[in-house]
Amino acid sequence: MRRFLGIAWLAGGMALGGLSARADEVTPANPFMGETEVSGVYALEGGFEVNAGNHVVWQVLTDYDDLPHFVPSVRSSIAWKLADGGLLVVQDFEGKALIFTRDMRVRLAVSEQPERGIVFRDTALGDFEVYEGSWQLQPTSRGTKVAYRLRARLRDAPPDFIARGAFKGSAVQMLGLLRDEIVRRDLASSAVRTKTTQPESGTK
C-alpha cells in the first residue's frame, strides 16, 4: 500500500476546529501554529519536535493511502506515482467550522525529497482558490523537528471570524494527531527491535 500520512493532513486539517497554541507554549508534546491572513489567503506556519528519527517521521508523513485510518475527517486518500517521479494525491474530506460542514476535495501535485521534505499544491482548485504548502524535516539532538506551512483560500469562504479559527485550530489538532502516530509507530518499531535482540530461552 502506498505510504500516506502527511499530505492528507494538509487537507484533513481543515476538518478539525477549535484548538490553538502559542509559540511560547511549545514543548515536544505541544505543537504550535502561527497564522496570518491577507485578502482572504490564510498563511499557516507551525510544527513540533518528536523523539523519533527521520525515518519514522518520513514513513508517517508519506503514508498517503492510510491517512483515513487515523484522521477521521479524511474520507478517502489515494496516491498515484507519476512518470516524472512526482505523485498525484486525491483526497476527499469533511471540512467543519463551528456549525458549518462541507465536503471538499483536493487533487495534489506532490514532490518529495526523501526524509527531508514534501511540497504540495492543489491543481484542481475546485473547493480552494489557493492551496499549497510544505513539510520539512530536520534532525535534532532529541529526535526530529517537523515544520509545516500552508497557504489556502476557500471558494465561497465563511465569514473571516469563522474561517480564521477553523484554519488555525484545525491545523494545531492535525499536528497533534500526526505526532501521536509517529510516536506510536516508533514505539512499535522499538518493541520489535528489542524482541529480536533478546536471547532465546535456554541459551547461554
pLDDT number for residue 25: 42
Q: Which three cell numbers mark 39? A: 485578502
Work out the number of other CB atoms within 10 angstroms of the CB of residue 98: 13
Q: Is residue 37 part of a domain?
A: yes
Q: Which domain CATH number covers 113?
A: 3.30.530.20
pLDDT below 70 — which residues of the chain?
1-29, 96-100, 157-165, 193-204
pLDDT number for residue 100: 61
pLDDT number for residue 92: 92
Rounded to whole angstroms, the Cα distance separating 135 from 49 reads 13
pLDDT number for residue 17: 36
**Is-above-0.85 flag for pTM?**
no
Range of the domain at 98: 3-192
Residues 27-48 have pLDDT tens digits of 455 899 999 988 889 999 999 9
Q: Is residue 201 part of a domain?
A: no
Q: Is residue 145 part of a domain?
A: yes
Kind of pairing between the strands at 3-4 and 62-64: antiparallel
Q: Is residue 202 part of a domain?
A: no
pLDDT number for residue 107: 97
Determine which helix (DSSP H) or strand (DSSP E) holds 68, and give its type and residue range: none
Q: Which three cell numbers mark 156? A: 465561497
Q: Which three cell numbers mark 66? A: 492510510
Q: Is residue 67 part of a domain?
A: yes
pLDDT number for residue 125: 95
Phi first, then psi, for residue 177 (nearest 5°) are -65, -40
Q: Is residue 123 part of a domain?
A: yes
pLDDT number for residue 65: 94
pLDDT number for residue 173: 79
List the one residue out of 191, 190, 198, 179 whose CA is nearest residue 32.
179
Rounded to whole angstroms, the Cα distance separating 45 from 148 reads 6
Q: Is residue 204 part of a domain?
A: no
- Number of structural domains, the chain? 1
**Mean pLDDT for the chain?**
80
Q: Is residue 199 part of a domain?
A: no
